């Protein structure tokens, strides 16, 4: 059973000691946060390290590669939604840059797994009513579709092609791991939607075809942020169970610790941990450590749940 904690900011000795005290056996963190001396300290205590890499997101990529800013069917350029700035998944420069980072993580870092994040078409989904504007119809996408498929982007072919673009990137990451020969798991943070949700938006809007992706992914991590999505805690288990049936792969849900503007009540937070850890789940990732450290009740809830496993 994986008992994971996500660190979003820089590592420190204090944070490492707290993770050990919690009884966690896995740490997830952004690739820019890795510190080799603290990694060794965790690994000596039997705690595995999984690194997250954000892919098709970030306003800095719009500035670096102006043609990476997604376009709608009406050719309107995407605007930032709160903190979120989606990036065209078919921009060749972005894809090359991200593959290069993944290769360096595989070659140079002693990690147990690499988790692909924002591996999708643009959508700010972590809200009650997500904006389902379809992207991307930039000139690069339209030309690539024309060369590979031919004709205009008729819906059925277009949706399949979009899903293929996402799966092809994941396949490239899988190949890099296999070619290196290291025992590194490949994980994916998946949008927690079923095919019936939002009229098939998981494929039509997001471009995540779970069955296709399961050919390359070892562990799927549905982002079951139930408070942000306005769901009951039971939904966490329902999504995990659904993804297990769709992929036949290990499922490791990630749950939220904070809920803006309201705080999660202690009892509901404890229930969310229990729902996340129900079989067929392989465990849970608690997002995130820095928020837990602000709330003794939530911290003790995680510690109790981890110690009980």
Both tokens assigned to 231 = 């769901």
* Model confidence pLDDT, tens digit, residues 175-216: 999 999 999 999 999 999 999 999 999 999 999 999 999 999
What SS3 class is residue 261?
Answer: coil
Read out DSSP for 116-132? EES-SSS---SSSS---
What SS3 class is residue 226?
Answer: coil
Q: Which helix (H) or strand (E) holds 251?
A: strand 250-251
Q: What is the mean pLDDT of residues 87-111?
A: 97
> Can you give the pLDDT at residue 263?
67
Which residues, including other chains, have CB under 8 Å from residue 80's CB and lie 6 or more apart? 59
* Model confidence pLDDT, tens digit, residues 239-288: 999 999 999 999 999 999 987 556 666 788 999 999 999 999 999 999 99
Integer angstrom CA distances of residue 259 from 6, 82, 253, 256, 265: 16, 15, 17, 7, 10
Integer angstrom CA distances of residue 284 from 45, 126, 273: 19, 19, 7
Contact 276, 255 (CB under 8 A): yes
Domains of the chain: 1-53+220-244+253-309 (no CATH), 55-217 (3.20.20.80)
Spatial separation of the C-alpha atoms in residues 90 and 68, rounded to whole Å? 8
Q: What is the pTM of this model?
A: 0.97
Spatial separation of the C-alpha atoms in residues 63 and 66, rounded to whole Å? 6
Portion of the chain with pLDDT greater than 70, in percent: 98
Order across the sheet with 283-287: list the strands.
250-251, 219-222, 185-190, 113-117, 48-54, 26-30, 2-7, 283-287, 254-256
What are the contacts of 229-235 at 24+ separation with CB within 8 A? 229/126, 229/127, 229/128, 229/192, 230/128, 233/268, 233/271, 233/272, 233/275, 234/275
């Amino acid at each position: 059973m994986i008992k994971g904690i996500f660190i979003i900011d820089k590592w420190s000795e204090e944070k490492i000691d707290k993770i050990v005290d919690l009884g966690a056996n896995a740490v997830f963190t952004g690739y820019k946060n890795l510190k080799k001396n603290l990694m060794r300290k965790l690994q000596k205590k039997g705690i595995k390290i999984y690194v997250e890499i954000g892919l098709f997101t970030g306003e800095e990529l719009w500035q670096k590669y102006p043609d990476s800013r997604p376009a709608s069917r009406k050719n309107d350029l995407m605007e930032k939604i709160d903190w979120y700035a989606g990036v065209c998944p078919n921009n060749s420069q972005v894809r090359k840059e991200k593959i290069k980072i993944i290769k360096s993580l595989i070659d140079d870092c002693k990690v147990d797994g690499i988790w692909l994040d924002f591996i999708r078409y643009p959508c700010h989904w972590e809200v009650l009513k997500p904006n389902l504007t379809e992207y991307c119809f930039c000139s690069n996408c339209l030309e690539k579709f024309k060369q590979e498929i031919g004709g205009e982007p008729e819906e059925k072919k277009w949706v399949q092609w979009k899903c293929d673009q996402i799966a092809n990137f994941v396949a490239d990451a899988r190949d890099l791991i296999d070619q290196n020969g290291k025992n590194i798991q490949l994980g994916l943070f998946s949008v927690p939607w079923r095919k019936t949700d939002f009229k098939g938006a998981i494929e039509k809007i997001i471009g995540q075809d779970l069955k296709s992706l399961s050919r390359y992914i070892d562990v799927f991590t549905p982002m079951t942020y139930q408070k942000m999505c306005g769901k009951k805690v039971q939904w966490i288990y329902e999504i995990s169970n659904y993804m297990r049936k769709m992929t036949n792969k290990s499922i490791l849900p990630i749950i939220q610790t904070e809920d803006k503007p309201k705080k999660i009540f202690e009892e509901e937070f404890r229930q969310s941990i229990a729902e996340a850890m129900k079989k067929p789940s392989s465990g849970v990732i608690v997002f995130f450590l820095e928020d837990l450290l602000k709330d003794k009740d939530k911290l003790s809830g995680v510690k109790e749940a981890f110690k009980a496993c």
